[in-house]
Amino acid sequence: MSALIRIFCLPIVLATIAVNMFALAGLLEGVGFADTEWRSPISDFGNLYSELAAAGFAVANSFVSGQFGFDLPEWSTHAFVLYASTALAVAASGMGVTQRQTFLGGLGAGSVSLSWPLSVWGFVTQAFRGRTVSTFARDHSVIFWLYMLTVAAGYGGARYYNANYLPAPEEVALLQMFFG
């Protein structure tokens, strides 16, 4: 059963890494730190992410605007996607990598993993009060930081590959004009 869960968790984690790369690009662009013009084929996935994020943002913004009378900043969509997909990846990794004594213990660990920002505060206070770190806190802290390093490396690698190896849009248009 454990091998099957690990195999099932791997595509989920890989998909969340890809989603987080585009969410990070949108967040950095939204706050003015980066301006990324993705080239094909990366732009195809970026456009899909942008369409889905824009649809989700429109629904959330209309709800907040109708209920509370103000509009959400556009970068908040990317921040929420970063949070949700990171929480999903940490939960999937935690269920696929860490060892649990029972099936219900694994489900409980997965549900706590989904709320990792709130859980971090509990881990830190428990570590200071009891001068000990639980296995759950240690495992999920390591998973979180490894995941964040992987997302950062993936984003940097995608930007590097995009800038240095993929043809510019005008080059693609010129090639299509001559070769069809």
Token pair, residue 90, equals 């940490």
Q: What percent of the chain stands above pLDDT 90?
A: 31
pLDDT tens track for 15-24: 999 999 999 9
pTM (2 d.p.): 0.76
Is the pLDDT at 13 greater than 60? The verdict is: yes
Is the pLDDT at 62 greater than 90? The verdict is: yes
In sequence order, the 6+-apart residues with CB closer than 8 A to the CB of 93 are: 9, 13, 143, 147
Is the pLDDT at 177 greater than 90? The verdict is: no
Per-residue confidence (pLDDT) for residue 166, from 0 to 100: 83
In the chain, alpha helices (H): 2-30, 42-68, 75-97, 103-113, 116-130, 135-164, 169-179
Q: How confident is the model at residue 32 (pLDDT cuts 50, 70, 90)?
A: confident
For the chain, domain boundaries: 2-179
